[in-house]
Amino acid sequence: MFDDIPLFLVRLLLGFGLGIAVGFVSRRGRFCTLGAVEDAVYAGDTRRLRSWIVAIGIAIAGVHALELTAGLDLTRSIYLGARLEWGALILGGFLFGLGMALNGTCGLGSLRQLGGGDLRAFVTFLVIGITAMMTMRGLTGVVRVAVTEPLTLQLPQGFSQRLPEIAGFGGATASVLAIALGLAVAFAAFGPAGLRTHYRFALTGALVGILIVGGWWATGVAGFDSFDTRRIESFTFVGPLGETLYYAMLSTALQPDFPVGAVVGVVIGAFIAAWTDGSFKWQVSADATDLKRRILGAGLMGFGGVTALGCSIGQGVTGLSTLSIGSAIATVAIVAGARFGLYLLIERRRGQPAARRAAAAPAKAALVRDRISCTEP
């Protein structure tokens, strides 16, 4: 199908097309990890949280179906390496989650907001991208290695980070069990009644999960080159923001690949969604305090996301789709960091005791959505 096209270009174009779909679906479906945590904590509304769980379940099932039927080699990804960088996963994940709360959304959310006309998200994009490149290849990378390298576990020969194999299953059996587990998780997130009454959230999660699988297919099957040392991947939104900026500055010396296409595609997809539903609106920071908070949050996200080998999507859906124990550790750390950040911004600042916080939860949820988190409908 793609025999006459260079494989890097295949991956770039597929990343662009799938990215458009991710941007459109995530904006129309209000798919947001931080928003899911906010809704659950402050309003008792778990619909977006369950949508995220559906995405994880569908991604698990789809990725292992590709492994079983199309020869996808997940050991070529960053998630199943021979080292468990537990210190980096915990520290980076927590800092990313904290930064996500301070900034008001994650890397995907920033691209989605940028497509909707939010110029604050453009600042976030720049800061995440620059900080990510610094952490991968620059000054803060020295700090990252110095702090996290001693906190790394070298796994025994033949030992895998994948949960089915840790449980003693291997080969096709492990893939079949993973598919069954993924489908069970996705179904259990809403249940029969929930699927009927909250179909929009369930559909959004399912589509996001399918698109994550599409990313794995693009890099690990359709655009896979067995002679290329590049790792296979799917959607993640920290390092790729840096790669996109790097390519924009040095295009003659670089070859664009899936991440660059994905980032550009998400912005365009979000723009199409915003333009067609009438929600496109130019926005800027209300004051210097808001901008400072967003810049600080974006910096923490850039450093934390690279250190943790992914973001709330890159680890929280893409990584978990491989059933990597490292991705599970990172995801828990990201959620913990986000929860701590919301505590600092909302509860600690207002000094409300638990009973008053519970009574004020609906109004506070609206405040969080209006002033901190994603504001698109």
Residue pair 123/295 in contact by the 8 Å Cβ criterion: yes
For 186-232, the pLDDT digits (tens) are 999 998 877 778 899 999 999 999 999 999 999 999 999 888 888 99
Is pLDDT at 374 greater than 60 in this prediction?
Answer: no
pLDDT at 253: 73
CB 98 within 8 A of CB 255: no
Please determine, for residue 364, whether its predicted confidence score (pLDDT) is greater than 60: no
pLDDT recorded at residue 59: 98
Task: Please name which of 331, 54, 72, 47 lies closest in space to residue 182, comparing C-alpha atoms.
Answer: 54
Asked whether residue 220 is domain-assigned, the answer is yes
Look at the chain and report how many structural domains it folds into.
1
Computed over its alpha carbons, how large is the radius of gyration of the chain?
Answer: 20
In the predicted model, is pLDDT for residue 319 greater than 90? Answer: yes
Q: Give a yes or no: residue 7 inside a domain.
A: no
Q: Give 216-275 pLDDT, tens digit per residue.
A: 999 999 999 888 888 999 999 999 999 999 999 988 778 999 999 999 999 999 999 999
Residue 2 lies in a domain: no
- The answer as to whether 367 is a domain residue is yes
Q: Residue 166: which domain range? A: 14-348+356-371
Amino acid at 73: D
pLDDT at 1: 58
Distance CA 198, CA 45 (A): 12
- Residue 1 within a domain: no
5 assigned to some structural domain: no
Of 6-20, 50-64, 240-254, give the lowest mean pLDDT range. 240-254
315 part of a folded domain:
yes
Task: Tell me whether residue 219 is in a domain.
Answer: yes
